[in-house]
Amino acid sequence: MKFWKFFVAAGGLLAGLHGALHAQLLIGQTVGVTGSAAATVKESMGGAQLYFDAVNARGGVNGQKIELLTLDDKFDPQLTLSNARTLIVDKGVLALFMTRGTPHTVGIIPLLDEFGVPLVGPSTGAMVLHEPVKRNIFNVRAPYQREVKKAITHLATLGVQRIGVVHVDDTFGADALAGALAGFKDNKLDALFVEKFDRAQPDFSTLAPSVAKQNPQAVLIFGTGSAVVDGIKAMRAAGVTGQIVTLSNNASGGFVKALGSASRGVVVTQVFPSERAVTFPLVREATALAQQAKVELTPAMVEGYTNAKVLVEGLRRAGPNPTRASLHNALETFKKFDLGGLTLSYTAEDHSGLDFSDLSIIGPDGYFRR
């Protein structure tokens, strides 16, 4: 597979592929360009850049071009906060875009609220970002808990009952676990086991054999990127033969490539239509632009592309020379806005975004199949 590439400038600052540093609509992003989530991050950034480049090529938004400034937070929540302050206070960005990670995003909420900065399309489905409504967070993807419940219901329908959970020990893992426990309850099941691993230094040397001894029919593993890759490989090496399920935050070609032969048969939940579902105008658009750029569309790129469409529409509605406040107000005017087969609405009381969720399985060819 061929994926989008980005270029790092001095000080860890990234610019889009067309790189003009004189854009009139300055948008900030802090995200793990390096670190455990890097593979998926780069693909989602590539999808967003496809759309931004297309918009800029047509003259921009209300005659103003978009510039996306990205700081690498290395998937470290403390660096996320520092980067966000730099972008908001020093760079004066109009909005933040597509952060990555639950503790990372939750940690910058006070800063967003202090300066009235909208964050569009955070790449996390944590329920804490949905309920109660966070004034400056405009979610696009569905919550993780919806994905988890769907996966457990699917397994239960197939007669799978011995289901264990392995999760990262942070707010993301706790959120996904809450969804799993609710899913078990809905299907009158109990978790076979619940194990957790450290986010900063994941170690599966004792965890994987412990999981194998309990002979699960399925294991739900909640974590990010390389940690989940290591966990799946360790469990397979320890003798776990049951179905392995992970969440949409790992829906990237880079994740599949890193798993190698261990990827076959892994179930990955999805919160956007398949990258091959050309019945969706959204996917047709993204596919055409990806082909022009000579890159291969992936699920993570579809997420980035969709988030970019939401941001651009908000900017368009905010009118010429938008402010942080006018962009915020413009986003709350979305009423069943058609993204291309998916509709999105926001109100002052609801910033939850889409409710789409699905399941995929990684085939022997390395592609996500629905």
Domain count, the chain: 2
Residues 121 and 188 in one domain: no
User: Is the pLDDT confidence value at 365 over 80?
Assistant: yes
Residues 233 and 262 in one domain: yes
The pLDDT score that the predictor gives to residue 14 is: 52
CATH number, position 173 = 3.40.50.2300
The pLDDT score that the predictor gives to residue 17 is: 36
Distances (CA, A) of 339 to 70, 82, 257, 311, 325: 24, 33, 30, 11, 23
What whole-number distance in Å separates Cα of residue 94 and Cα of residue 61? 14
Structural domain including 252 reads 144-270
The pLDDT score that the predictor gives to residue 76 is: 96
In terms of Cβ atoms closer than 10 Å to its own Cβ (0-12, 13-18, 19+), residue 178 is middle
Residues 11 and 134 in one domain: yes
Evaluate the CA torsion angle 23, 29, 35, 39 in order and state its sign. Answer: negative
Residues 352 and 285 in one domain: yes
What whole-number distance in Å separates Cα of residue 304 and Cα of residue 366? 21
pLDDT tens digits, residue range 170-213? 999 999 999 999 999 999 999 999 999 999 999 999 999 999 99
Residues 137 and 36 in one domain: yes
pLDDT mean over 70-96: 98
What whole-number distance in Å separates Cα of residue 168 and Cα of residue 176? 9
The pLDDT score that the predictor gives to residue 235 is: 98
Residues 205 and 149 in one domain: yes
Does residue 212 lie in a domain region?
yes
Does residue 2 lie in a domain region?
no
Does residue 109 lie in a domain region?
yes
The pLDDT score that the predictor gives to residue 4 is: 36
CA triplet 361, 285, 150: central angle to 5 degrees? Answer: 30
Residues 347 and 237 in one domain: no
Residues 342 and 194 in one domain: no
Which of 19, 6, 1 shows the shortest CA–CA distance to 45? 6
Task: Give the 3-state secondary structure of residue 360.
Answer: strand
Residues 167 and 224 in one domain: yes
Mean residue pLDDT across the chain: 93
User: Is the pLDDT confidence value at 339 over 60?
Assistant: yes
Does residue 361 lie in a domain region?
no
Of the two residues 6 and 126, the one the predictor is more confident about is: 126
pLDDT tens digits, residue range 293-316? 999 999 999 999 999 999 999 999
Does residue 367 lie in a domain region?
no
Residues 112 and 156 in one domain: no
Token pair for residue 367?
């592609």
* DSSP of 85-108: HIIIIIS--SEEE--B-HHHHHHT
User: Is the pLDDT confidence value at 84 over 70?
Assistant: yes
What is the rounded (10 degree) CA torsion for 260, 265, 266, 268? 120
Q: Which of 239, 270, 301 is the last residue of a domain?
A: 270
Residues 14 and 138 in one domain: yes
Task: Give the 3-state secondary structure of residue 331.
Answer: helix
Q: Among residues of the chain, what percentage have pLDDT more than 90?
A: 93
Does residue 207 lie in a domain region?
yes
Residues 171 and 61 in one domain: no
Does residue 365 lie in a domain region?
no
pLDDT tens digits, residue range 275-292? 999 999 999 999 999 999
Q: Residues near 206 by Cβ (< 8 Å), separated by ≥ 6?
A: none
User: Is the pLDDT confidence value at 21 over 50?
Assistant: no
Does residue 92 lie in a domain region?
yes
pLDDT tens digits, residue range 204-219? 999 999 999 999 999 9
pLDDT bucket at 263, cuts 50 / 70 / 90: very high
Q: Which of 270, 300, 323 is the last residue of a domain?
A: 270
Q: Which of 232, 250, 270 is the last residue of a domain?
A: 270
